[in-house]
Each structure stands twice: as C-alpha cells, then as structure tokens.
Homo-oligomer: A and B are copies of this chain.
C-alpha cells in the first residue's frame, strides 16, 4: 500500500478534479493506495460520499499557494499550505509520495527544501514524456532549469537513465543530446561541451546528438536539453494535436475521420502519462499539469506508486554516488532552482 499525500487544492479544477481523480484511482486499483487528501475539510468533505471511501482520508491544511505567487516567498509564508503540509508528511515518513497539480515552482522549491537534493545533484529537474512513433521519450529538462551548465545536463542524463530503467523497464536507456546536427562538432557552446562529457561517461548509454526531426522517431529513451528548449518544444508539441484536428475537421466529411482522430489524440494525449516526477530530490514528488483532468490525476497517482515501488530514489542515489565518486567531488546543492 503506497501512501500518497495528494494536494487537494492544486490545479485549475481543484478541489473537484483532484477528488475525482483520487476516486478514479481508488476504484481502478483498489488496495493499492492510501490517499492522504490535503486541504480544507470544508471544501473537500462535500465532494466525498458519506462515509469516506476506504483508503482516503483528509489531512487539514488551511492555505493554498496560487500560481501567480513567487514560489520561495509563498512556501515560507504559507506554512499551512497544502504543498508545505504534504511535503512535510513525506519528509516525516508519514507518506511515501507527494502529488500536486498546483504551482510547479512552489512544488519544486518546497520539495527541495523539505526533502533535499540527492548527493551529486545541483538542481532537480522535471521531465516530460514525448509520445513518438516508437516508445515514448523522456525529455529532460522540460522547463524547470533555464541556463543550465554541461555538468547539470550530465546529471539529468543519469537521473533520466535510472528513471527509464526503473519505471519503463528499459535495460540500458539510450541517452540522446538535443542538437542542431548529428556531428560531434555541431551545436551551441552548451551542446558542444555536454556532448564531450556524455561521450566520456561510460556509465551512460549515450547514442549521440539528436536533431529536431528525429525526436518523433523515438531514437532515444532520454533526450537531454536545456529547460528553455525543452519547455518550448513540449508546449509546441502539446498544441499540435488540436491544430491538426482543426485542419482535418475543415476538410473532411463529418465522421469520416473519427477513428483516425481518436488515435491521433490518444497518442498525443499527455493525460495518458499523467504527471512528471521531480527528479533529483530525495523523495517521490510528482507534478501534474495545472489543467489536468481527473484521468491525468489518476494516472499520476499510479506513476507515483510505481516510483515508490521500483526503488527509484535509492537507485538514483546509488547511480549518482558513482558519478560523484568518479568526479572526486560532492557538489552541494546550489539552492532553490530558477523555475519556469
């Protein structure tokens, strides 16, 4: 039984959408979760049947951090916010994972503060799963870290590699570096330096540079890039499905493209993947899109449980331990990351 601290007040549709997501998960996988639903009992209770569903209980928290609030100030000021309370449960061993569709910046900052970074990690990272023509690709970083250094991209490669091994059961995940050309001498300063580090790292299965038009072919399992590029690419990708559907709608007889469009949507639908764990902190903290529907919350809960049960955090610590041992240094965390 995985104990999930669930931010009941996070996301555009909270609390209704979050509660519905939790109920879907409890129904689909009975006995797998214990849900600690965090938020105002006055707001949450009316959404729950009487008696409360088995496996779910409310943990009171009186405050809510808004999207627009500066994350670091918000988590310092709002000590009784759902995010701070939930991560406190995880830190204190009363929960196994934390999950929120609230402010990404606040979840990142609070996770780092409550859980700490894994040794050897400068800044935690958030990935996004890109559907491809083959297996999905984890794009790291997806917007959490802008202006990254080569050494940080190498850390992302290690974190992503363990993630794909433990969660997707890929034996030796292929690591690609997003770049403007395949050749070793192509790229901006960041890509050129990172390429050299990745090539020299025998613990990684580095397959080389990946150009923009190869992403969709699923040529690697983990695609490493600066969070600026990753974020632009992720949002662009998410917007494509609607665009293509609109084009087809204009030119097809109604109904003719029904099954085809459904398939496009299914493949491109991020809700299938639910959420993204914050990688590099010492605990399982999963971030969902602010606009997540109940299905995405449900799938993110399964993802959180998978992270816990696979021993991902322990495996990351072991993997990074070898990285820092090789480098002969243990870098201290550089503080709260700049988030998107």
Which residues of A come within 8 Å of B, CB atoms?
Answer: 133, 143, 146-147, 178, 180-181, 186-189, 191, 211-217, 225-229, 231-240, 242-244, 246-248, 250-252, 256-257, 259-260, 262-264, 267, 340
Interface residue from B147, B212, B247, B264 paired with A239 (Cβ < 8 Å)? B212
Query: A257 vs B251: C-alpha distance in the bound complex, in angstroms?
Result: 9
B229 close to A250 (CB less than 8 A): no
A264 close to B244 (CB less than 8 A): yes
A215 close to B239 (CB less than 8 A): yes
Q: How far is the CB of A152 from chain B (nearest CB, A)?
A: 13
Provide 12 A-B residue pairs closer than 8 Å at the C-beta atoms, listed in order of the A residue: A146-B180, A147-B189, A188-B226, A191-B228, A211-B232, A211-B235, A212-B231, A212-B236, A216-B239, A216-B240, A247-B267, A251-B260
Chain B contacts of A213 at CB under 8 A? Answer: 235-236, 238-239
A133 close to B246 (CB less than 8 A): yes
Interface residue from B143, B237, B244 paired with A180 (Cβ < 8 Å)? B143
Nearest residue in B to A250 (C-beta to C-beta)? B263
Q: What would 19 more interface pairs be, CB under 8 Å, given A236-B236, A256-B257?
A: A133-B243, A133-B246, A146-B189, A147-B188, A180-B232, A186-B340, A212-B231, A212-B232, A212-B234, A213-B239, A215-B236, A225-B232, A229-B229, A233-B233, A244-B244, A244-B264, A247-B267, A256-B256, A256-B260
Query: A232 vs B226: C-alpha distance in the bound complex, in angstroms?
Result: 12
Nearest residue in B to A225 (C-beta to C-beta)? B232
Chain B contacts of A259 at CB under 8 A? Answer: 251-252
Chain B contacts of A260 at CB under 8 A? Answer: 247-248, 251-252, 256-257
Q: How far is the CB of A239 from chain B (nearest CB, A)?
A: 4
Q: How far is the CB of A260 from chain B (nearest CB, A)?
A: 4
Query: A123 vs B292: C-alpha distance in the bound complex, in angstroms?
Result: 43
**The 7 nearest A-B residue pairs measured at CB:** A212-B235, A213-B239, A213-B235, A146-B188, A251-B263, A212-B236, A252-B260
A178 close to B229 (CB less than 8 A): no
Query: A25 vs B236: C-alpha distance in the bound complex, in angstroms?
Result: 35
Query: A132 vs B75: C-alpha distance in the bound complex, in angstroms?
Result: 40
Query: A224 vs B124: C-alpha distance in the bound complex, in angstroms?
Result: 29
Chain B contacts of A237 at CB under 8 A? Answer: 212, 236
A264 close to B247 (CB less than 8 A): yes
A233 close to B231 (CB less than 8 A): no
Which of A189, A232, A239 has the largest number of chain B CB atoms within 10 A? A232
Query: A250 vs B262: C-alpha distance in the bound complex, in angstroms?
Result: 12
Nearest residue in B to A243 (C-beta to C-beta)? B216
Chain B contacts of A262 at CB under 8 A? Answer: 251
Chain B contacts of A246 at CB under 8 A? Answer: 133
Q: How far is the CB of A131 from chain B (nearest CB, A)?
A: 9
Chain B contacts of A234 at CB under 8 A? Answer: 212
Q: How far is the CB of A327 from chain B (nearest CB, A)?
A: 26
